[in-house]
Amino acid sequence: MNGGASVISRSTVLDVDGLKAQFSAQFTGTPQVFSAPGRVNLIGEHTDYNDGFVLPMAIERRTYVAGAKNGTSLLRVKSLTLGESVEVDLAGPARKRRGSWVDFVEGTARALLERKLPVVGCDLLIDSNVPHGAGLSASAALELALGIALVSLGGETEPDRVQLALAGQAAEHQYVGTMCGIMDQYIAALGERDAALLIDCRSLEPRAVPLRLGTARVLVCDTKVKHELSSSEYNVRREECERGVSILSEVLPGLRSLRDVSLGDFTTHAGRLPDVIRRRCLHVVTENERTLAAAEALSRGDLARVGQLMIESHASLRDDYQVSCAELDVAAEVAAAQPGVYGSRMTGGGFGGCTVTLAEESALPAVEAAVKAAFLSRGFREPELFATTACEGARRH
């Protein structure tokens, strides 16, 4: 690959008519097509399960579902990306944690039914261009694409998007076995074109923050690293935060989560915390402040400030929350050092996956070249970089 045009103009739109035709070749009935996006989080990492603030945007990569009712109690689902089919009998007992993608199908369908949303037997054909395991929330894209498809085919004309997001999260918790926060499902459900969403993860109130980027772009760098550690360490971080809350609540009565701890209170009482817990809490408390500040700066079009906050966020995740890795550090640091770059940081859960960079469009070729050269010289796998705009959440086509 050469030059920056590839970074900014790669086509990512999936052929909806082609998907319908493929559906008709394998199933009966006239399909309707739905989709939901992957996401990149601009800032606000590991804050969602602490009732805090996040600032993600939905990206151009999406998961598509073509579907039609089949008049039975069965969900018959085929994935074109995996070349596999699964079946779930809605009339049979719920089956959890089978360790394959059937957990997403069964979990989403059962969680929707628990919320009294209409789910009936359907044939579904799935295709996706959200890279799997890259930290761009391919799982949430799948849950939300399935969710909007099932509920719409079941007869709901205006599905409640927050309920769809909560059903996706419940599928993760109960069927897949990942104790994620709400960020990924929420942005996949409610993402808006040309805006990031500032989400208050306690009230679940979103505020659209228009991306006033001018000539700048959001650049994603997939390090191609998938650390097996990520889910076990994720749960450890959650427990460490809970431990911090329980110790701090001895001196801060009424404390429910780290969201309620101001930087002033934290500084006063940090001495009560064991060192590791103190660092985890410090990250969360400061990350909430950075996220609110970044949303405010973004809405003013102050990209220099947003970039600076992104760089501080990365340092905090690397040094205090300790969820980065060598590839993420190199990608973020090399990108941030290029002229025309405002800031760069790891995005998502960490231990691999992607960085997000805010940079002038004219700087993208140099950023791509510099990051690739740095990876090559260290013997890392070749990363993939792509620019993206902010897109709409789950939708019917």
Count of C-beta atoms within a 10 Å radius of residue 258 = 26
Closest approach of Cβ 283 to ligand GLA, in Å?
11
The tokens for 306 are 């947003």
From 5-13, 46-54, 122-130, 202-210, span contacting ligand GLA (CB under 6 A): 46-54
- Between residues 48 and 60, which has the closer beta carbon with respect to ligand GLA? 48
From 40-48, 112-120, 144-152, 304-312, span contacting ligand GLA (CB under 6 A): 40-48
- Between residues 143 and 360, which has the closer beta carbon with respect to ligand GLA? 143
Choose which of 121, 154, 349, 352 interacts with ligand GLA (CB under 6 A).
Answer: 349
The tokens for 88 are 């779930």
From 158-166, 175-183, 293-301, 312-320, span contacting ligand GLA (CB under 6 A): 175-183
Choose which of 77, 112, 117, 180 interacts with ligand GLA (CB under 6 A).
Answer: 180
Choose which of 35, 45, 75, 282 interacts with ligand GLA (CB under 6 A).
Answer: 45
Closest approach of Cβ 201 to ligand GLA, in Å?
9
Do residues 52 and 181 lie in contact, with contact meaning Cβ atoms separated by under 8 Å?
no
**Distance of CA 320 to CAs 60, 170, 324, Å?**
32, 29, 10
Choose which of 191, 348, 352, 393 interacts with ligand GLA (CB under 6 A).
Answer: 348
The 127-166 site mask, x for binding ligand GLA (CB under 6 A), equals ----------------------------------------
Element (H, E) at 53: strand 53-54
184 in contact with ligand GLA (CB under 6 A): yes
Task: Write the DSSP symbol of residue 52.
Answer: -
Query: Which residues inside 195-254 make contact with ligand GLA, applying CB under 6 A?
Result: none
Residue that has been written with the tokens 């808006």 in this structure: 192
Tell me the one-letter amino acid at 43.
Answer: I
Number of residues that bind ligand GLA (CB under 6 A): 10
49 in contact with ligand GLA (CB under 6 A): yes
Query: Which residues inside 282-321 make contact with ligand GLA, applying CB under 6 A?
Result: none
- Between residues 51 and 327, which has the closer beta carbon with respect to ligand GLA? 51
Tell me the one-letter amino acid at 158.
Answer: E
48 in contact with ligand GLA (CB under 6 A): yes
Closest approach of Cβ 313 to ligand GLA, in Å?
10
Task: Write the DSSP symbol of residue 192.
Answer: B
The tokens for 99 are 């360790």
Count of C-beta atoms within a 10 Å radius of residue 326 = 11
Q: For residue 37, what are the β-bridge partners?
A: 62
Annotated catalytic sites, by residue? 184
Q: What would the DSSP string read from start to end of 56-92?
A: EEEEEEEEEEEEEE-SSSEEEEEETTTTEEEEEETTS
Q: 169 by DSSP, 3-state: which?
A: helix
- Between residues 125 and 141, which has the closer beta carbon with respect to ligand GLA? 141
From 5-13, 43-51, 152-160, 211-219, span contacting ligand GLA (CB under 6 A): 43-51
- Between residues 49 and 104, which has the closer beta carbon with respect to ligand GLA? 49
Cα–Cα dist 207/200, whole Å: 8
Closest approach of Cβ 243 to ligand GLA, in Å?
17
Cα–Cα dist 375/382, whole Å: 7
51 in contact with ligand GLA (CB under 6 A): no
Tell me what percent of the chain is helix, strand and coil, each rounded to the nearest 5: 45, 25, 30
Tell me the one-letter amino acid at 13.
Answer: V
Do residues 20 and 66 lie in contact, with contact meaning Cβ atoms separated by under 8 Å?
yes
Choose which of 4, 31, 38, 181 interacts with ligand GLA (CB under 6 A).
Answer: 181
The tokens for 392 are 């709409």
183 in contact with ligand GLA (CB under 6 A): yes
- Under 8 Å CB-to-CB from 13, ≥6 apart: which residues? 60
46 in contact with ligand GLA (CB under 6 A): yes
- Between residues 200 and 302, which has the closer beta carbon with respect to ligand GLA? 200
Do residues 129 and 35 lie in contact, with contact meaning Cβ atoms separated by under 8 Å?
no
- Between residues 49 and 266, which has the closer beta carbon with respect to ligand GLA? 49
Binding site for ligand GLA (CB under 6 A): 45-46, 48-49, 180-181, 183-184, 348-349
